[in-house]
Amino acid sequence: MQLLEERIKADGRVLGDSVLKVDNFLTHQVDYKLMKEIGKQFAETFADAGITKVVTIEASGIAPAVYVAEALDVPMIFAKKSKNITMNEELLTAEVYSFTKQITSTVSISRKFLSPDDKVLIIDDFLANGQAALGLIKIIKEVGADIEGVGIVIEKSFQDGRKSLEDAGYKVVSLARVAKFEDGQVVFAQADA
Ligand code: G4P
């Protein structure tokens, strides 16, 4: 997605040799106009998949996911990383290990929001090692819903998230694919959409 690549080039900052900071349009401050275009792009790509729910994980997946849900006219559900006192119904949970943060967190979704008839599109802001998406897949499979694909805003292709997801049989669609960082600049690989 050219608009997204241009924005990453203009506003993204490379930190060290493996992290891209995009906090002025995606992970902290959010550019809703860009999110809206991202939503339209994913909706177009998955137009024939019969998606009934969009699922993401808090926090930074929520902004793109809600615009995908709007474009597909379906609900968006985000997995929670901490349980609060109102979550008193049956929960579906998965352990997610973050290589970046080196912590394991338990993520959960209330069972009442998913049914075996659902066709789910998973959306996330970053794909690094794929652990967040794999955790969501475990939860969604537990209710017997179908997973039609994983939509990623920014994939770091030099990490093995895509391979893990494709090896497990899932379609991955990334709007920007970072092949590498060179002299503080982002080098893109061919994106999926
Ligand atoms: P994985 O899910 O693909 O295995 O990724 P990993 O555990 O390595 O990443 C953990 C967190 O760091 C995730 O956010 C992920 O979105 C984010 N992340 C990974 N690589 C980058 C990067 O290059 N730049 C930025 N900005 N973030 C990156 P999270 O823990 O779910 O945090 P948040 O969504 O609550 O902010």
Is pLDDT of 77 > 80? yes
Of 53 and 88, more confident = 53
Ligand 1 atom at shortest distance from the alpha carbon of 126: 16
What ligand 1 atom has the least distance to the C-alpha of 18?
A: 23
Residue 83 has pLDDT above 80, yes or no: no
Instruction: Report the residue among 21, 23, 98 best suited for mutation to probe ligand 1: largest number of ligand atoms under 8 A from its CB.
Output: 98
In the prediction, which pLDDT does 139 show?
A: 97
CA of 100 to the centre of ligand 1 (A): 7
Can you tell me whether residue 133 is helix, strand or coil?
helix
**Residue 132 counted as an annotated binding residue:** yes
User: pLDDT over 70 for what percent of the chain?
Assistant: 99
| Domain around 78 | 2-189
Amino acid (1-letter code) at residue 83: K
pTM: 0.96
Write the residue with the smallest CA distance to atom 5 of ligand 1.
128
pLDDT at position 2, please?
A: 98
Structural domain count of the chain? 1
Which of 18, 29, 80, 100 to probe ligand 1 with, by most ligand atoms within 8 A of CB? 100
Distance CA 93, CA 138 (A): 8
pLDDT at 84: 72
CATH code for the domain of 59: 3.40.50.2020
Q: Is the pLDDT of residue 109 over 90?
A: yes
Write out the two tokens for 54. 């969009």
Rounded Cα–Cα distance for residues 171 and 149 (Å): 5
At 150 the three-state DSSP class reads strand
Mean pLDDT of 19-23: 97
Q: Is 94 exposed, middle or buried (0-12, 13-18, 19+ CB in 10 A)?
A: buried
pLDDT for 134-151, tens place per residue? 999 999 999 999 999 999
pLDDT for the residue numbered 100? 79
Distance CA 189, CA 136 (A): 26
Tokens of 28: 């902290």
**Of 27, 25, 29, residue with least CA distance to 4:** 25
